[in-house]
Each structure stands twice: as C-alpha cells, then as structure tokens.
Chains A and B, each alone.
Chain A
Amino acid sequence: MIASAGSILAAVLAAAEEPVAHGPSSVASAGFFLDYAWLIPLLPALSFAGILLFGKRLPRKGSELGIAAVGGSFVLAVGAVITWIGHRDDSHEGVQAVHRTVGWLRSGGVEYDAGILLDGLSVMMLFVVTAVSLLVHIYSTDYVAGDARYTHFFAFLSLFTAAMLFFVLSDNLLQMIVGWELVGVCSFVLIGHWWEHKENSDAALKAFFTNRVGDIGLLVGVSILFFAAGGTFDTLRISERINAGDVSHTALVVASLCLLAAVMSKSGQFILHTWLPDAMAGPTPVSALIHAATMVVAGIYMVARLYPVFWEGMSIGGSSINVLALVGAVTLLFGGMLAFTQNDIKKVLAYSTVSQLGYMVMALGVGAWTAAMFHLFTHAFFKACLFLGSGSVSHAVHSFDMKNDMGGLRKVMPHTYRTFMVATVALMGLPPLAGFWSKDEILAGTGGWGLFGGTHGNGNYILMLVMGMVGAAVTAAYMTRVVYLTFFGTYRGHGHPHESGPRILGPLYVLAFFAVVAGLFNMPKGFQLWPEAWQERFGHYVEPVAAYFPAIGHAKPSWSLAIVSVLVALIGAGLAWRYYFKGVQSRSQAAGASLTEIDDGPVSRGGLPKAVHTALVNKYYFDHLYTGVIVKAVKGPLAKAVYWSNQRIIDGAVNQAGRQSVAAGRAVYDHVDQGLIDNVIVDGSGRASDGAGEGLRTMQTGKVQQYAAILFAAATVLAGVFILVLSI
C-alpha cells in the first residue's frame, strides 16, 4: 500500500516538474505542497473513477486503490501542514493566504475563476479529512468485507472524500456550492448503501431532502453576497470588502440568515436536525466519516470561511445574544437530551454529534472562532473513534440495540472497550483529554464568566455559557449510560461476541491516541504547566491574521472556569453512574431479571418525568410536525380546493371562486393554525392533527391531469396578475 502510494506520489512529482498550464507562474511560490494542493482532492477523485472502471477486476476489489489514493492525499496534506507552519513562521506581521486561481469562464462581463485557497483553516481541514478518511478506509476493508456492493462502497467513499476536500479548498462561493452538493449526493448514496431495505432508502431520501431545504438558503445567500459584494464570488475579496465596511449591513443580515439555514440543514442544527439520526441507516464507517470529518462539518467550515459575513450580519461582537449562538446553544442542549432515550448506540452517538455541532455553532456565534475550529479538530478524532468503536461492537453482536443485545462486553472486547472509554472521556470533557481543552475554550469564549479575573470574549453571552455548562453535564450523563449499557452489566444478547480484527482495532487505537493528545495542540495562553513556546499553537497557525478576517477578541481561560466545568461534567457523570451502575445494576440483580424487563425508574411513574420522557422518545415530535402536520396540511387543503372546484363545476356554479378561496383559507386555518398550534405545540400531541391528516388524505386524488390543470391555471393567474401589474 505504501509502495503504491509512493509510486503515485513519484508520478505526481514528475508531473509537477513539467510546465503545467494552470500552475502558478506569476505568483511567488509557497512551496510544492501548498502550490499543488489541488492534487489532494484530485487523487481520491481519480480513484473514484478508477474503482468504478476497474475495481471489480483488482485483487482486493478496488479497496487498495481507494486506500492508496487517500493515503497519497494524506501524505500531501501532512506536507501542506508542515509547509504552512513554515510559511506562518516566516511572516510575522499577519499571514497571507496562499491563493492560486485559473480563469474558468467569462460570461456577461464577469470573470469566474476556479482556484484553491490555503490558509490555516483549510490546511487544518485537509489534515483532518484525509486522516479520518484514511482510517475509515482501512477500517472498512474489514467492516464491509463480503458485502455485495463492496467495490461500489469504496468508490463512493473516495468520491465523498474528494468532494469534501474540494469543498475545503475552494476559493470561491461557486466552487463551494459544487463541493457542498457533491458531499450531499455522496452522503445520499452512502446512507442508502443497503437500499434493499425501505427504511434505509427512506433515510437517504430524508437526508437528501432535508438538505435541499437548506440548500435553497445557500443559493439565496450566495446570490445576495455576490451582488452585495460588488459582483464577485471570491471569498477573500468578499471578506475583505465586508471588513472594510463596503457592504451594506442589511444585505449581510439577510445573507447570513440564509446561509444559517444551509448550516442548520447540513450540520444538523435544531429543527433541521431530524435527518441526522436517520442517516445512521448507512454502514458504520460512513457514519463515522459523515459525523466526524465530512458532511456535517461542511456547515461549520462554511461559517468559519465566511466568518466576516456572520460577524457583521449577526453583530456578534459586543452583543449578548444572536441567532447563530442561540441556534447552537439550543441544539447542544436539546440534542444532548435526545441522546438519553435512544437505545440504538449509533443514534445516541448521532444525537451526541448534533449536540457537539451545536457547541461549534455556538462558539462561532459568540465569536470564539478558534475555539470552534479547535473543537471541530478534536471532535473529529474522538467522535470517529466512538463511531468506529460502536461499529466494532455491533460487528461482534450483529446489532445496534444496546438494551437487548449488548452489555458486559468489556471482558470479551478489551481493545474496543479501552479505546471507546478514552474517546468517551474525551467527549465528556474531562482533563487532560482532547474534549476538555476545546470545550473549555468555547465556554471561556462566551465571555460570560466573570469570576476570579474573568475572561475577555467578544460580548457577554451568559445564556450561552449556562447552556454550554448544562450541555456538558448532559453529555457526561448520556455517555455514562452508553458505556454502562454496552460494556458493563451482564451480556443480554445471543451468540458469542468476539474481539474484532486488527484492521478494525488499528484505526481505533490511532484515533484514541489523537483523542488523548489533540488537546495539547492548543494549550491556553498563560497556562502555567505547559512550556510557553507550545501554548496556543493551534490558534496561532489556524486563525488568519489578515484583512479577510474580522478583528475578533480572544477570551482568556481561567482556572476557576476550568474547575467548575469539570465539576459540572463530573456531577452529570456521577448522577448517571449512580443511577445505572448502582441503581439499575442492583435492581436487575435483585429482580433476577435482565435489564430489558425491569421498569424504567422515575420515568414510568407518571407526572412530569414521564411527560418529558415521552417527548424525548418522540424526539420532540419534530417528525410528526414535518410529515404529519405541515406536509399534510399543505397538500390537504390544496386537494380539497380542487375537489370542491370540481363539485362546483358539476353543479354549474362556476363563478364562485371567491367562496372557494374563503373555504380554502378556512381549511388552512382549521388544519394549520388549529391543528398545528393548538394540538401540537400547545397540547404537545401529534395525535389530533394526525387524525386530521388522515381525513384529508382521502381528498388527495393522485390524478396527474388534475394536478396539471391546477398548475396551468395557477400559472395563468400569475401571468394575468403580472400583466396587470405591468400595465398599471
């Protein structure tokens, strides 16, 4: 494998020696790895084509090609990291991004460039994506071995990686859209990898369509930015103009809200997060890739890349609340609470991802840019480790159900157990593991901490600080539950679980290693126990110091905050530990029954706990809201109106359009207003509206020509209105 990667590299190097048409000629060279960074997405893209064409004929069915290509990309990415560090050290007064473009298209007097943009942010992402992807590739050779579409799987894994790398490297908004959509398509294909089961293909469709909702926001937002910034898609130029104050604030408000919709769908933020847990239908390595390094962090990356837009649009500096921070804070808290009631180990982790992405969005919302990126960095490793660990467990017990098929696995799967525990502690945010440092930096970045010296953030986001703290306790608690249900207690499954093979355990250990050490890259400034030259390296190299980046303030972490946040996490973990390791354990032993048969403690006794539990089990009724109420309420009255119009025509009363529209309005009132607000939000129950939906369903004729008639009639009416408006 290494040999083949080496040979590819040699070929690439040879090719690079030739005078390439689109190579940088007039710009000063920034070193091979940065100038030729476009090779990094190109390699997996080529491997995608190669695997599709010859994969089946290769001895290892194409997986070796994917691993070689991603390995090559990884080597190049590491080279880019090292070159960038040198580049950064050479420039003391701010550092310019390495920006290489080639003319792509000229249309309507506007020139569109294609190019690559390398700064600390994209270089860091290149490293994370290639590293996680490489490990996932290796892991997959064992995990999906014997699958009917093994070759196909690896082809799309390569394309997925290529798409994400392309997205990360893009220097303009158009390229970003292309990468963004490519990532979406690949996730659709991979989530639906086992499409023979309807729920899998449904999950893939759900992911795809939910993302389309946000994509509309992306398209609108990008269009607004294009015109607001004076007709350019170039992210650097847009950012510079915004920082110089050349762009209207109103346009930025609207653009940032539109882009936020895209982020909410892509990064699973609250109210558009529902696709993410369903996306667990895909094979586990894909889940790890989607949740750690690609798909979901695309939204975070976009905010980070276009940070001036959000900084200005959301007025982040000097405020105490804004939409971005609020969305993140709500997501981190409510997403984390949802993780409690799931019995599927992957779904717990999925909600955990939702929650952690909430941390990142919140951090961006409060101006803690570096903290958000650092959390993205550390989270990629420990979450990938958790996902791959859960895959290893499910590989052994052939199930994802923690309650019925797991328990007591720490003895049979010691390696998986160890790595999983490391990643769990990292996720809980306990020192000295990775999650602690990044989470603490986010909490400090809220600027809401005033005790013992206090911190200097970009505002006074006390609400975010509180929600982040509670979120930390919730995270620690649900991870304790997962660990208990999976690895402790008695084994409740059938069959004989066994430890997984080296190709699964290897990546786990590598990721666990990173989960331990990743936090050390960004030790807080002024931290007494760490040499000063090594403090805040991550922030130093990743955070741009240039005209295209807003002047954000930096929070000062304090011992008091760190101690309190650790205590809070410990309290969360401790309560859960007491409940599961002591309470449940002893009760199940006393009853002589397995865990599945004993009652659920306080939640089965009724009252508020039970109500909360029911709401959580039903995921706050969001799925009911989307399919049961909104979809049915929108298409129901429409069909009803058609039905009525037919009735009226038969009766010969064609001229009562006014009455019909009143009736349609009433139907909307009855079913949207009354159904949605009274029954769902107030009563908290989707049942009544579900019934209403059932009733409306019969009106839905399915007759194509009727739909076509409505289409034509509506278009005609619109055209008529248009003409009237024009002629006035």
Chain B
Amino acid sequence: MILNQFLLLAAVLFCIGVYGVLARRNGIMVLMSVEIILNSVNINLVAFGAFRDNVAGEVFALFVIAVAAAEVGIGLAIVLLIYRNRRSIDLTEADLLKG
C-alpha cells in the first residue's frame, strides 16, 4: 500500500463533506456532512500515525471522535431550538446575520 491512497481518499471525502455543508438547506444534513469531514480527518490522522509508527495519530483520532460526539449533541440541540422557534430547519431561512 502507499500512503497517498488513504490521503487522497480522505481528501475526496473532505470535499464531499464541504459540498454538503455548503449546499444543503436542511440543518441536520449539514451536521451529517460535518461528520463526513471529521471522518476524513480521522483517516488522515490514523494513516499518518501508521506511516510514522507513532501512537499519537490514533490518540488524536479518538479525541476527534469524542469531540464529534459532543458536537453532534450540541448541534442537534441547536437545530431543535431553531425548529421550535421557526417550525423549520431550513438554513436558508436562518438569516438573522443580515446586516
């Protein structure tokens, strides 16, 4: 195996995730896309860990998983709150940042 196959896979997944974050209107879908991004990062971490024969990559992948769990919890809570306030989780309607 070569290192790059994992890294390129991660890169492609990352881009797909970015596409999802930018294109989807549904708040939950955006969160899912974020999960894809985080997973691609994890693949990178573990691949480099294996490459360098260093345990740090795995340790940080585990930390990322833990943080992702927290992120999903908070993210879904926010989506619920938006839904409760507006009866919709359409992000194109969330435009309170309008200047």
Contacts and interface: CB of A to CB of B under 8 A. Distances in A.
Do any beta carbons of A and B sit within 8 angstroms of each other in the complex? Answer: yes
B94 A712 contact: no
B95 interface: yes
Interface of B: 18, 21-23, 30, 91-92, 94-99
Nearest to A713: B22
Given A712-B18, A712-B22, A704 B91 contact: yes
A591 interface: no
A708 interface: yes
Nearest to A636: B99
Given A703-B95, A704-B91, 4 more contacts: A703-B92, A705-B30, A705-B92, A707-B97
A647 interface: no
Contact of B98 (A701, A708, A712): A701
B95 A705 contact: no
Interface string A634-654: 010001000000000000000
Nearest to A703: B95
A393 to B, nearest CB: 40
Interface of A: 635, 639, 697, 700-705, 707-709, 712
B79 to A, nearest CB: 13
B95 A701 contact: yes
Contacts of B98: 700-702
A660 B83 CA distance: 37
Contacts of B21: 705, 708
Contacts of A707: 97
Nearest to A693: B99
A705 B91 CA distance: 8
Contacts, number: 31
User: For chain A, what secondary structure do more than half of its interface residues adopt (helix, strand, loop), or is it mixed?
Assistant: helix
A639 B97 CA distance: 12
Given A705-B21, A705-B22, A635 B99 contact: yes
A711 to B, nearest CB: 10
Given A705-B22, A708-B21, A708-B22, A700 B91 contact: no
A707 B21 CA distance: 11
A611 B54 CA distance: 71
Contacts of B99: 635, 639, 697, 700, 702
A702 B92 contact: no
Contacts of B23: 705
A635 B94 CA distance: 19
A700 B96 CA distance: 11
Contacts of B95: 701-704
29 contacts: A635-B99, A639-B99, A697-B99, A700-B98, A700-B99, A701-B95, A701-B98, A702-B95, A702-B96, A702-B97, A702-B98, A702-B99, A703-B92, A703-B95, A703-B97, A704-B91, A704-B94, A704-B95, A704-B97, A705-B21, A705-B22, A705-B30, A705-B91, A705-B92, A707-B97, A708-B21, A708-B22, A712-B18, A712-B22
B9 to A, nearest CB: 19
A703 B25 CA distance: 11
Contacts of B22: 705, 708-709, 712
A45 to B, nearest CB: 31
3 tightest Cβ-Cβ pairs between the two chains A and B: A702-B98, A700-B99, A702-B95
Contacts of A708: 21-22
A708 B91 CA distance: 12
Nearest to A709: B22
A689 to B, nearest CB: 16
Nearest to B24: A705
A723 to B, nearest CB: 13
Nearest to B99: A700
A639 B18 CA distance: 21
Contacts of A703: 92, 95, 97
Contacts of A700: 98-99
A152 B3 CA distance: 58
Contacts of A697: 99
A705 B26 CA distance: 11
Nearest to B94: A704
A700 B99 CA distance: 6
Q: From A635, A700, A702, A705, name the one whose CB has the most chain B CB atoms within 10 angstroms.
A: A705
A707 B94 CA distance: 12
B7 to A, nearest CB: 14
A312 to B, nearest CB: 44
Contacts of A702: 95-99
A703 B96 CA distance: 8
Contacts of B92: 703, 705
Contacts of B96: 702
Nearest to A712: B18
A709 B97 CA distance: 15
A703 B23 CA distance: 12
